[in-house]
Chain A
């Protein structure tokens, strides 16, 4: 029963939700909408469990002065302060339309946003280092990759387009590379992934896949 019940629930809910794609009738959508709301409530409830997990993982280290306890203390203090600010009322408006207190908006604007932007900006350096390794012409495939990447990059910037005589041919070749071989490979990946997704979904819905329940 411990294993059969989850499989039964998965099957019924899975079939209903697959049906949503094929049945646009508003009565059916009312039913699936209700199920989706249950899902949203579950997801929201899981945030409380996430909070508990953060405290369970980091608080003992801070209390016992374990390795890197300072970082964990910063995390817990930041969590407590942001949470407290989140509960206070205010009339400041975030981009999402949510009204928050001045202190919460200050944390959002002057701590959260710059930190996120910094992490995102680091991507440029990571792309450079990964590109340097990927574009080393070690074999025929890597050389082909290097040539294709160099062509696309060069023809995508104004200086490439402005090269006398061959500039327009470079752009045309770049467009062809992106539209034909690149697009063909992408579509093959999409079709394969879509079939894999259907297959995985059906395996779970039909109860063939049980590894998430601890196997047979």
Chain B
């Protein structure tokens, strides 16, 4: 029984640890589904985490902290969108420079606020639901950030695949010419969804500094933005698959901690490599020709579900600017 309780506790901490990543993946999925790549995630999250923490600390208001982080995320997304839509510049280049700039800006602007205690999001169990065995402690005895990210994943999926505006969003990312011919304002929508996606990435940053990884220090969330970008691909640009990816990532980190205790003779450092090896492996499986070959030696009836499970393909017009004139 004790082991079981321990397992539930670990699992519920995995859900908590993964929730900011779920938010970031959701935001970037929305942006990329509309055909725009916001590569600046790593820098955006760092700057948003720093801003959210300082604003939250100075105003003693969590809401203002998250709001400030959202604005930071939207600002960076706006720069990427403006650069690629209006100025027709490479969005990868702009996004990459913003990644570095966000990192440096957060290190400089946050230098007087490192390693100090600040405000944090309180745990808020939902009555009755939290007493359900297993599911209760996992999903209903968490805090508002977790609830928000879970609801957001479902909502985004419903919006993308079950509503008219969601269809337009995907149309803009798949075949902008066709959407344009049908009277959809392609670039206007791309701006809109870039801003929404960027705002969510900003919230994800603040979710680290105010909830999951409390406080601020230089490079507080470094690397996690890139992980989120890889999970978007692994998730096949679907919010639900993306959320599962984020949870799996959280689970691997927890597993690494367990392995570390089991095999103390292996250097602690080696375990830090797991996420990155996983990142390459996961992208390799979802995009490589070898997977296709592997699927083709399987029995015919297995091929379709396996292909759906293993392979992904992105929005057709991803990363290509669209000229309305």
Q: Do A and B come from one complex?
A: no
A-side interface residues toward B, CB under 8 Å? none
B-side interface residues toward A, CB under 8 Å? none
